[in-house]
Amino acid sequence: MIETILICGGIATICGIAIYLWGEWRNFAVDVPDIDWETPEFPKLNMMELEIPIPKFQTKTVVPPPHVLGTSGAWKAVSRVLDRLPGFETAANPADLKDRIKAYQAASETVRTQMIARAEQAANEQRSNLEQWLNRLATIEKPIEKQIRARLNEIAAKIETMAKGGFWERQRAKRLRRKLSKNERKLDEHLRGIRQEAKACQTAIQNWLTSAWRAESIAHRLQSQLRNLNEIAASKELAGAIAEVQVINELEKLPESCRIINDITLKAPHYIHNRGNPIQSEQIDTLVITPAGVFVVEVKNWSREFAESGHGFNPYEQVSRARQLVWIILQEAGLRHVKVRAIVATHGRLPAKKEEFVAVKQMTQLRDYIRWFNDSNVDVRETEDAIMRWQQ
């Protein structure tokens, strides 16, 4: 019994000591004066950015006839790029875009002169305020350094007092000294960052107030704008858009009893394989439905060099896969009598033809080729509905 009491008493003593030490440890953390690591206000330099004036282009509206659905997929891709170029994002078609680029190139010298004059006026209006900022930026970190140094000195003084106390106070002083060192390093980094930003602002202001720098900067921006536009004008995407739009313009002259569907993606109703390769979905440049059947059109506008390089997808395989998918969709819809034909419409060069059941036509021949098929056993609306059910 006595042994049990002694054991319990020992355990209680140990627990008491542990609780005391835990309490002392929890109090080990000392209060550190709050430090405001503020960042000073810097001048807003976006006022130095002048918009590039764009000539006012005549707005053109292209309204397709009712039997034409959608537009060129390549032109959609080009239009997404043009969204970042004010004045060009409203181009109606590739021809309109090229006209705008040509007009902008012709007006570029006038635009440069206008921008230099506007920049000169803006710099003169802002000069007094910006020169005051230059003076402030030279010592902008001083008030913040003074404020934070005062807080760090408070911590240092507290450490000296605690270092003269008892055991726990001295331990707290050691911990606080480590925090002080950490904050001193942080202050050095904070001031370094402020000085770097202040230096960048000073350089930007000094440049802006220098007429030669303004003229050079404006010339560089205009050259960059022109370079971007020239890259778009020479891009394969625009070349593809030109060809696809030309095909659409040619096909829209077909009778309104036909249906021309552009840039459509069809998903397979189930697993389909084409020469061992699965068909899950296919994008079709233009799908033409007439009383004589369905025509799957793949449009290419390749240069001779590109056609001979072996790069790019094989257009014959592309259109054959799409034709097979359309044929299966119609078969399963019970429209087994509807013939599906594949055409590659070209405005340039193509690789050697290996597909026997793919017609190759120049774009100007396309409409007459389709009209040559004069059967009239296809319900255009029914066929369209059957195909569009599988639009992705």
Instruction: Specify whether the CB–CB gap between 385 and 340 falls below 8 A.
Output: no
pLDDT at residue 303 greater than cutoff 80: no
Instruction: Specify whether the CB–CB gap between 97 and 242 falls below 8 A.
Output: no
pLDDT score at 32: 60
Which residues share a beta bridge with 262? 286
pTM score, two decimals? 0.72
pLDDT at residue 62 greater than cutoff 80: yes
Identity of the residue numbered 268: A
Higher pLDDT, 86 or 349: 86
pLDDT score at 25: 47
Instruction: Specify whether the CB–CB gap between 286 and 243 falls below 8 A.
Output: no
Least confident of 1-10, 209-218, 302-311, 316-325: 302-311
In tens, the pLDDT along 140-167 reads: 999 988 988 888 888 888 888 888 888 8
In tens, the pLDDT along 235-269 reads: 989 989 999 999 999 999 999 999 999 999 999 88
In tens, the pLDDT along 373-389 reads: 988 899 999 999 999 99
Angle at 177 between CA 175 and CA 181, to 5 degrees: 120
Crossing angle of the two packed helices 94-138 and 167-208, in degrees rounded to 10? 120
Q: What is the mean pLDDT of residues 214-223?
A: 91
Instruction: Specify whether the CB–CB gap between 208 and 214 falls below 8 A.
Output: yes
In tens, the pLDDT along 156-197 reads: 888 888 888 888 888 888 888 888 888 899 989 999 999 999
In tens, the pLDDT along 46-56 reads: 656 778 888 78
Average pLDDT, the chain: 85
Q: How far is 28 from 202, CA to CA, in rounded Å?
A: 46
Residues in the chain: 392
Which residues share a beta bridge with 300? 346
Least confident of 21-25, 45-49, 324-328: 21-25
pLDDT score at 202: 92
Question: How much helix, strand and coil, in percent to the nearest 5, is found in the chain?
Answer: 60, 15, 25
Of 224, 245, 218, the C-alpha closest to 98 is 245
Q: How far is 182 from 32, CA to CA, in rounded Å?
A: 12
Task: Tell me the domains of the chain and their CATH numbers.
Answer: 46-233 (no CATH), 240-388 (3.40.1350)
